[in-house]
Amino acid sequence: MLSEVGKDMETGNKVIDEAIQGSATTLDLKEVGNRKVYIESYGCAMNFSDSEIVASILSKEGFNTTNNLEEADVVFVNTCSIREKAEQTVRQRLRSFQKAKKAKPEMVIGVLGCMAERLKSKFLEEERLVDIVVGPDAYRDLPNLVKQVDEGKKAVNVILSKEETYADISPVRLLSNGVSAFISITRGCDNMCTFCVVPFTRGRERSRNPETILNEARELFGQGYREVTLLGQNVDSYLWYGKEGLKKDYETLSEEEKKQSMNFAQLMEQVAQISPKLRVRFSTSHPKDITDEFLDTMAKYDNICKYIHLPFQSGNTRMLEKMNRGYTREWYMGRIDKIKEVMPDCAISADIIAGFCSETEEEHQDTLSLMEYVKYDFSYMFKYSERPNTQAEKKYKDDVSEADKSRRLAEIVALQRDHSYEANKAYVGRTYEVLVEKVSKKSDQELAGRTSQNTVVVFPKENYKVGDYVQVKVDNCTGGTLLGKAKESQESR
């Protein structure tokens, strides 16, 4: 899903919104009570993963989920603050609930996630319709907060935690195709990129107990899942040191902690060893923290997908410094060289920001030339959007004109389109192992799945089914999709 979104620059959130609206699944849970909750999610994969945790917490209190807003007793919107546009989308959506609330005045409406954390109780004043405001670390308190609203109060919990990772909660898989699932491995972010709200909305970085991650992956595999995506704002800085707590660097650990420690490369290796038939993906990697040890582990296991999302934001070192990204243009290029050396077939994608504070025309050209150097398979591309209370908002002027931002973004998008097309063309004529995820949207006689490189492939169904690994010879491409046919002699893993 993320890859489909990525092909649409600024519309990313919109595509996700469409994907989720009206498709929250009704769960087959034991009815302890009989209240129904409707959850809608916006923003990044972490939010979608959190909604599954919320569904799990509420199911224990007798809530069933429903995909029908009208029949819901409780409506939650899991929100995103990353750009102003993301917040506007949520506000519009909240207003559209007015009709449903009028028809059913006892309906409880709650706001979860990053916007809840950013605006806190101000949300209750700004959007009168809202009864509950809950930040990303306070979901265990949800049953209690709903009770408070039942008693006629408004309820807010936006306390951020130093330990919470929801490690013991097994998520209720909403919207699942039964083949791929998200597993959160870290929460929060300590990087403090100057443009970004995430450190404020999600709090400090914490790594989850690896045993619980491995158990979750094993369970999923046992239930028939064939792909897990390990999630975090910066997965490369994953480091378990024996207990839940704030992020530490390896060098600062005690001898005892070092003995119990596990880094991202080691965790990845253990997940990959669960079964060669379980594909492993991960997101997001940070250029300053992606290690050679990790890249070597990736190369060693066929079932670790050969795809890295490695956002660079800007191709200019002065901009990168101003963004507090912790690397230079040259460092980033060095990481790309290493990836290509160790895994020549690895697909790479990026996030790019156009028109950050004081970006000159030459600096923008550096972004385009870095794109030429890497030739990304695809990118998520954005205009800089100033966010309240970030370092950039406090220290720098948002002084690139709207017209320049739009033009620079259009240039970036046009170049990416060429590169994506070139990348797709290079797949034609070759055979790839495809994990089948669903029946194609266009025809029920066709199946759709992805290559290890994360490119969508559509091919005639024949006798194959969702969850199969199929060797597919690619013979054409349209837009972001490859078209092919299953090879007759199957060499299934």
Which CA distances in Å does 9 have to 195, 197, 354, 375?
A: 18, 19, 11, 16
Selected binder of ligand SF4 within 86, 109, 115, 198 (CB under 6 A): 198
Selected binder of ligand F3S within 39, 130, 197, 350 (CB under 6 A): 197
Interatomic CA distance for residues 306 and 453, integer angstroms: 5
387 counts as binding ligand SAH under rule CB under 6 A: yes
Residue labelled with tokens 């404020």: 200
Selected binder of ligand SF4 within 77, 114, 142, 196 (CB under 6 A): 196
Selected binder of ligand SAH within 311, 315, 355, 449 (CB under 6 A): 311
Interatomic CA distance for residues 38 and 55, integer angstroms: 9
90 counts as binding ligand F3S under rule CB under 6 A: no
In the window 257-286, what residues touch ligand SAH (CB under 6 A)? Answer: 284, 286
Least CB distance to ligand SAH at residue 11 (A): 13
In the window 105-164, what residues touch ligand F3S (CB under 6 A)? Answer: 113-114
8 counts as binding ligand SAH under rule CB under 6 A: no
The answer to whether the beta carbons of residues 441 and 456 sit under 8 Å apart is: no
In the window 331-360, what residues touch ligand SF4 (CB under 6 A)? Answer: none
193 counts as binding ligand SF4 under rule CB under 6 A: yes
Closer residue to ligand SF4, CB minimum distance, 283 or 455:
283
384 binds, among ligand SAH, ligand SF4, ligand F3S, none (CB under 5 to 8 A by kind): ligand SAH
At a CB cut-off of 8 Å and minimum separation 6, what does 339 contact? 295, 308, 310, 346, 348
Q: How big is the site for ligand SAH, counted in residues (CB under 6 A)? A: 17
Selected binder of ligand SAH within 35, 83, 187, 364 (CB under 6 A): 83
Cβ neighbours of 80 (radius 10 Å): 26
Q: How big is the site for ligand F3S, counted in residues (CB under 6 A)? A: 13
279 counts as binding ligand SF4 under rule CB under 6 A: no
145 counts as binding ligand SAH under rule CB under 6 A: no
Residue at shortest CB range from ligand SAH: 351
348 counts as binding ligand SAH under rule CB under 6 A: no
353 binds, among ligand F3S, ligand SF4, ligand SAH, none (CB under 5 to 8 A by kind): ligand SAH
189 counts as binding ligand SF4 under rule CB under 6 A: yes
81 counts as binding ligand F3S under rule CB under 6 A: yes
43 counts as binding ligand F3S under rule CB under 6 A: yes
Q: How big is the site for ligand SF4, counted in residues (CB under 6 A)? A: 10
Give me the residues paired with residue 91 across strands. Answer: none
Least CB distance to ligand SF4 at residue 195 (A): 7
Residue at shortest CB range from ligand F3S: 43
Interatomic CA distance for residues 462 and 447, integer angstroms: 9
322 counts as binding ligand SAH under rule CB under 6 A: no
Least CB distance to ligand F3S at residue 135 (A): 11
Interatomic CA distance for residues 51 and 337, integer angstroms: 37
46 counts as binding ligand F3S under rule CB under 6 A: yes
Residue labelled with tokens 């546009």: 85
Closer residue to ligand SAH, CB minimum distance, 20 or 278:
20
Give residues in contact with ligand F3S (CB under 6 A). 43-44, 46-47, 80-82, 113-114, 197-198, 201-202
Binding residues for ligand SAH (CB under 6 A): 82-83, 195-196, 198, 233-234, 284, 286, 311, 313, 351, 353, 382, 384-385, 387
